[in-house]
């Protein structure tokens, strides 16, 4: 029997307990031994819940118990998760976590601590919810040099954008719905301002490129400025607006960013709707690969955490290697990156079009019949820097969205 402890009985922690109960027998067979939850750490009590007899309020009970071989961290946030995880690893207990904040900030240090002790620090659930993506990067894709990862990595914002597009719902209504369904972060700003996707692309890029991508250095824009009018233009074009997190290697330069993009129907991420996530990867020998599935929520996330528990149980005295050094990866500024932009501006049509063409040269005009006194246009391929300079000259400018070609 392999005894484990779960830290936190919130959405993910209670999901882990549920998954281990639901699939107890098959999980035991796959792990080669029965997985038994001995403790659940939480500040609260759960009278009437069968978990109550396992609840402890003192982390030392878990850390001082030599029977505990694996600790699941499902508390979220940096502290006290960081301190508890370090202490568990120091005590030669493997750790599995879904905590993207913790992994993005302290991943290489915690991996080193595990490696030095022949145990494991695994975090499959930190990116893409239930989608296997960390393990493929660490094992199935090791023959490749990865040169691009582009993904829809936040279920909450994809759910919001999909609902705005399909039902014309307002941003606020859908956010509330996503919170009730257990998709959103405790502080939903982390979702809608892009920070959650930013941490996830930092983790995936660090694993793909081998050195540490500091999430604080990734250019990040959320979806808070996307309006129902923007969605109408996207529909007029037959395109969709998606919050993308992307990192690319071009020669010796590495770029990373998070922002809403307009995607056309041919793009592999166009059909990723609702709470689903999709991650597109390009490798120099593999070519393209796509990973798709449930990106957030209690059971999908718990499924990925429990798969890590099984992996830890199979490798109790051996580290499953991952390639993520603490050496910092230098990111090139996105200023030089070239793309097309969709821009909205208000004014009298004739004067506005002539103004736009004076500044941007030849553009494609887009008109939504129900939106009076404004129009949209698509620029040719220009750098971010060039775009910004031109935008400053445009009177009546309303908003702009980048285009992913
Ligand atoms: N709030 C996150 C999301 C949860 O919506 O994707 C899963 O990491």
- 124 alpha carbon to ligand 1 midpoint, in Å? 13
Please state, for a pLDDT cut of 70, what percent of the chain lies above it: 100
Which ligand 1 atom lies nearest to the CA of residue 153? Answer: 6
Which ligand 1 atom lies nearest to the CA of residue 295? Answer: 6
Strand order in the sheet with 68-73: 55-56, 35-41, 2-7, 68-73, 94-97, 121-122
pLDDT in tens, 340-354: 999 999 999 999 999
Q: What is the number of H-type helices and E-type strands within the chain?
A: 14, 17
Whether 305 lines ligand 1, by a CB cut-off of 6 Å, is: no
pLDDT in tens, 220-261: 999 999 999 999 999 999 999 999 999 999 999 999 999 999
3-state SS class at 146: strand
Distance of CA 365 to the CA centre of its chain: 34
- The answer to whether residue 168 scores a pLDDT higher than 90 is no
Which of 152, 180, 185 best tests ligand 1's pocket when mutated (most atoms within 8 Å of CB)?
185
Whether 73 lines ligand 1, by a CB cut-off of 6 Å, is: no
- What confidence tier does 173 reach under pLDDT thresholds 50, 70, 90? confident
- 262 alpha carbon to ligand 1 midpoint, in Å? 21
Nearest residue CA, atom 4 of ligand 1?
296
Tokens representing residue 131 in the block: 């989608």
Whether 156 lines ligand 1, by a CB cut-off of 6 Å, is: yes
Which ligand 1 atom lies nearest to the CA of residue 125? Answer: 8
Lowest mean pLDDT among 168-172, 192-196, 230-234: 168-172
Cα(307)–Cα(63) distance, rounded to whole angstroms?
Answer: 22
């Amino acid at each position: 029997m392999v005894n484990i402890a779960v830290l936190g009985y919130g959405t993910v922690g209670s999901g882990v307990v549920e998954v281990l109960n639901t699939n107890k027998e098959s999980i035991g067979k796959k792990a080669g031994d029965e997985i038994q939850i001995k403790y659940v750490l939480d500040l609260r009590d759960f009278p009437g819940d069968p978990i109550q007899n396992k609840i402890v309020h003192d982390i030392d009970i878990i850390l001082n118990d030599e029977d505990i071989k694996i600790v699941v961290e499902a508390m979220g946030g940096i502290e006290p998760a960081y301190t508890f995880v370090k202490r568990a690893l120091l005590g030669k207990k493997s750790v599995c976590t879904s905590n993207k904040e913790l992994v993005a900030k302290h991943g290489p240090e915690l991996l080193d601590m595990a490696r030095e002790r022949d145990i494991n620090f695994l975090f499959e659930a930190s990116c893409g919810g239930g989608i296997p993506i960390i393990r493929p990067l660490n094992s199935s894709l090791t023959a490749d040099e990865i040169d691009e990862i582009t993904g829809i990595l936040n279920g909450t914002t994809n759910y919001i954008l999909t609902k705005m597009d399909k039902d014309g719902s307002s941003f606020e209504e859908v956010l509330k719905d996503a919170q009730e369904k257990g998709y959103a972060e405790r502080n939903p700003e982390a979702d809608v301002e892009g920070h959650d996707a930013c941490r996830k692309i930092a983790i995936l890029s660090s694993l793909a490129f081998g050195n540490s991508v500091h999430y604080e250095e990734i250019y990040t824009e959320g979806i808070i400025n996307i309006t129902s009018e923007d969605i109408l233009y996207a529909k007029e074009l037959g395109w969709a607006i998606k919050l993308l997190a992307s990192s690319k290697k071009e020669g010796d330069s590495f770029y990373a960013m998070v922002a809403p993009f307009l995607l056309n129907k041919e793009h592999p991420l166009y059909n990723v709707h609702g709470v689903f996530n999709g991650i597109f990867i390009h490798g120099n020998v593999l070519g393209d690969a796509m990973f798709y599935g449930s990106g957030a929520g209690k059971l999908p996330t718990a499924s990925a955490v429990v798969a890590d528990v099984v992996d830890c149980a199979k490798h109790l005295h051996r580290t499953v290697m991952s390639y993520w050094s603490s050496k910092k990866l230098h990111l090139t500024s996105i200023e030089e990156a070239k793309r097309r932009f969709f821009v909205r501006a208000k004014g009298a049509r004739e004067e506005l079009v002539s103004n736009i063409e004076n500044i941007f040269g030849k553009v494609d005009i887009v008109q939504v019949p129900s939106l009076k006194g404004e129009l949209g246009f698509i620029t040719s391929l220009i750098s971010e820097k060039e775009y910004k300079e031109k935008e400053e000259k445009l009177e009546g400018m309303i908003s702009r969205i980048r285009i992913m070609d």
